[in-house]
Amino acid sequence: MAELFASFGQKETFTLLLAIDREKIYNDFLKAEAGFNSYKLAFLDKGIKNSPYQNQVENYPEYLTMLPSLAIPGAKVFPNVGEFPDIDEQGLNFIHPDIKEACICLAGTAGGPFKSRWLGRNSLDKCQYWSSTKIIAILNVICSINDDINTCQIRGDGKKLDFNEVVEDIFTYGEKIGSSNALSAMFKCFQNYVDLESWLKEITGNNHTEFQGLYGEEPFIFSPQITQDDRVLLSAVSESKKPAEQPGENTVATYDLTRIMSMVGCYYHLPESAKLPGMSWENLQPFIRNAGKDTARYVDVALEKLGIQNSIKYPVILSKLGFGYSSSRKRTELTYTCFTQFEYQQKVRSIAMTLRGARALGDFDKEAVEIDARMATEVTEILRRLVTDELE
């Protein structure tokens, strides 16, 4: 206790101690769901415009050049592309049972090589991650382009779209251009299903993933091209991309998404052998800014609940939500993959995480608000343990 007061100061220590009472935190978040339902949730649909960090998004790439610290015994060098890390499958036993699968990556250095520590709960189980998997095809396309992504357009069917504005629309659900599902299906047009799945496996080292589905809607443009000054940089493959003809599903693991998010957030510090192949720092930056505009704001509300939102510096919050009702499993499911980094108490901390929660009550609205409050609660607990150095 004395150490806590010495480290954090009286007010913050009190708030961090109160946050240990997870049942109270959950009930507080559940009260905030009053008036919300499955169509609009308090935290999943909060939106970047209601975020205290919206004016910082432009600075996220600059903040990510700051080196995070990691001084955990047993942390190993961050895995190279295709290498599989050691995941402590008992490391997340503290998380509530409504979070069915989870994977966390702590990354940084104590001097010397860049290291990571991986914690999991059923982290290799193949599951449906809904819209959270949309980041995969976008990153694959960016890795396939050597030119400046900022001056690229997506063309076809008489349409001419700004590349970064399309990506932004996918994250914000703003529908300035089209639906997030249709735009995401369009990004899958640039690779055969099997090749995109292989690309993902080659990066993560997890060969049990399936990534051969769409998102319930037809592509916004059926045969898109990525162009720059009327030069074609990338064209759609001939394989049909219609939901009725998709050969499989998008069933990946929490590890897969956490690995991808950690490679995005830590890109600047990783050796070439561990970086997303074909990615450049210049082309990753607009993706980083767009991933900062996700409508789900669980990290925002967690930092506020912990009482440290005014004490952190250089915050970065990248994320992608996923949400849906599974008729086969008869339950509401919510997924959240994110990377967050900030300086607190003169220490830069970074964490990538993916959580998949589920509730089965026979009432869609009740399930939705409860799993939304639960996700906010568990993200709060994870970040509490991060700042008090309890995550090992």
Nearest to 30 by CA among 309, 377, 336: 377
What is the model's pLDDT at position 2?
47
What percentage of residues in the chain have a pLDDT greater than 70? 97
Q: Where are the domains of the chain?
A: 1-125+253-392, 133-248
Question: In this predicted structure, what is the pLDDT of residue 54?
Answer: 97
- Residues 254-298: tens digit of each pLDDT: 999 999 999 999 999 999 999 999 999 999 999 999 999 999 999
> Which pLDDT belongs to residue 11?
67
Could you read off the pLDDT of 182-217 as tens digits, one per residue? 999 999 999 999 999 999 999 999 999 999 999 999
pLDDT tens column, 50-62: 999 999 999 999 9
Collect all residues with Cβ–Cβ distance below 8 Å to 110 and sequence separation of at least 6: 69, 70, 71
Beta partners for residue 153, in sequence order:
162, 227
Kindly report, residue by residue over 285-343, the tens digit of the pLDDT. Answer: 999 999 999 999 999 999 999 999 999 999 999 999 999 988 888 899 999 999 999 99
Mean pLDDT, rounded, of the chain = 94
The mean-pLDDT minimum among 15-29, 75-89, 143-157, 231-245 falls in 15-29
Q: What is the 3-state secondary structure (H, E, C) of 329-391?
A: CCEEEEEEEEEEEEEECCEEEEEEEEEEEEECCCCHHHHHHHHHHHHHHHHHHHHHHHHCCCC
The answer to whether 249 and 133 have CB atoms below 8 angstroms apart is no
